[in-house]
Chain A
Amino acid sequence: MKERTKLLLLVAVLAAAYFLPIEHVRVQRAFLEGLFLAKSYARHHVLLCLVPAFFIAGAIGEFVSQGAVLKYLGATAKRSIAYGVASVSGAILAVCSCTVLPLFAGIYKRGAGLGPAIAFLYSGPAINVLAIILTARVLGLKLGIARAVGAVTFAVVIGIIMAELFRKEETERLANGPDPFAVGATEAGRAVWKDTLFMAVMIGILVFANWGAPNAEVGLFALIWRIHWPLTAGLLVVLGLMIFKWYEKQELTGWVQATWVFAKQILPLLFAGVLAAGWIMGRPGLNAGLIPSSWVASTVGGNSLWANLFAAVSGAFMYFATLTEVPILQTLIGAGMGQGPALTLLLAGPALSLPNMLVINRYLGPKKTITYVSLVVVMATITGMAYGAMFG
């Protein structure tokens, strides 16, 4: 870091301390709200939800054969398959968010082309496994599912529209060389079903450990709730057996390392996001953040076109670090944001940001970038309004 930057930072911190309006009760309370929210996350979401989720993400990164997925995105792949794979493979291929752009460039220049590349570009961040899990956990199953379904659908639709609009423009294919998408035919080893089962067991543990008490005393949900801890324990035993019998030490070390890399990268940012969300909006329902709930309710409350559009546009430009959209949305909803605008924000926020748009612009040029961003904003708004009308 340059010395001048350090000086500027020091001055900024001093200025903040000098002008801190800490005499106001509301400001005092807002600071506490950040801490309250952080405690709530630490107690309710970290151990039972985030930790298993990180292990699942780590397993996806380490064990799923990328080659098996990549071959469907190559230049010779069938179009419809390429779209389908591009819109969901973000969950498998883009577990590290920085790899979305190189893969996008690869699909565009050497693979299946603009349409599937755009589908992947959008769905990569949107269908992030960790984000879907945390969304379902904190914001509710309905929003979690809506987010996942919306992300996949959008990805395909936006990809197809872009491919149609810009069909006449030829993509300059880069140098001819070995087809990079044909990699992975060499990956042998464990049968796919074993890896799939391994991950299914982990997902099962995640689901059963988090099984909430149902409203009714009878029925399947209630039955499962009564035995959900024994079920979790049983699955843990099964997991242990799989670990011992199916995996070599080196693979397990790789898995744990991958999990740790995610945790290291994501948890500090999530923590910062939780604090910020608590300070700015306060815990749900208490109107104790810096921003009064009435402001939130009047801008993005209800399900009007304006509310959804506002959410879509601000989401598109705002930068959300991985997972931080969850506490931010949680506190916004708690301060009066409608369900419709909430889904809109989930669909437009994580996938786009101003810095992200500038990078995309370097590849696609202003015309395509503006089209892409507009498509995302419009579709997010429409989907959010529809969801809000049905489930709001």
Chain B
Amino acid sequence: MLEIKVAGSGCTSCNVLEARVKKVLEELRIEAMLMKVSDFNEMARLGILVTPGLIINGEVVSQGKLPSESTLKDWLERSESR
């Protein structure tokens, strides 16, 4: 099962990213544990410097940008098949 963390502190982009990830997970029917990280110390520890950030299975996949749904689909499918 995938472990996904969305790093954000409550601004619009961060919430949009979380919603998009949920939507794509549902569409692709991928099982995942989705967590929201709002504590800055935790973010720094995970290696996220610029929000919104996306971490899949411990790897920082993106930060500082709001990836499109199609990009998210790509990443999630690839992670699923690893």
Contacts and interface: CB of A to CB of B under 8 A. Distances in A.
A32 B17 CA distance: 41
Interface string A229-259: 0000000000000000000001001100110
Contacts of B64: 66, 93, 99
Chain A interface residue number, banded? 35 or more
Contacts of B60: 180, 183
Contact of B49 (A98, A106, A264): A106
B68 A102 contact: no
B11 A102 contact: no
B82 interface: no
Contacts of B11: 96-99, 265
Interface in B5-28: 7-14, 16
Contact of A180 (B48, B51, B68): B48
Interface in A168-196: 174-175, 177-178, 180-181, 183
Interface in A108-125: 108-111
Contacts of A174: 41, 44-45
Given A66-B64, A181-B49, A98 B43 contact: no
Contact of A103 (B10, B16, B49): B49
Interface string B43-63: 111011111000000001001
A170 to B, nearest CB: 16
A159 B51 CA distance: 23
A101 interface: yes
A87 to B, nearest CB: 17
Interface residues of B, number: 25
Contacts of A178: 47
A103 B50 contact: yes
A70 interface: yes
A105 interface: yes
A98 B44 contact: no
Contacts of B34: none
Contacts of B68: 250, 253-254
Contacts of A250: 68
Contacts of A105: 40-41, 43-44
Nearest to A64: B64
B19 to A, nearest CB: 13
A202 to B, nearest CB: 20
10 shortest A-B CB distances, which residue pairs? A98-B11, A105-B40, A180-B47, A106-B49, A106-B44, A105-B44, A99-B51, A174-B45, A109-B44, A102-B40
Interface of A: 61-62, 66, 70, 93, 96-99, 101-111, 174-175, 177-178, 180-181, 183, 250, 253-254, 257-258, 261, 264-265, 363
10 contacts: A61-B65, A96-B13, A99-B51, A99-B64, A105-B43, A111-B49, A180-B44, A180-B49, A254-B68, A261-B16
Given A62-B65, A183-B47, 8 more contacts: A93-B50, A96-B11, A96-B13, A96-B51, A99-B64, A102-B9, A109-B41, A257-B66
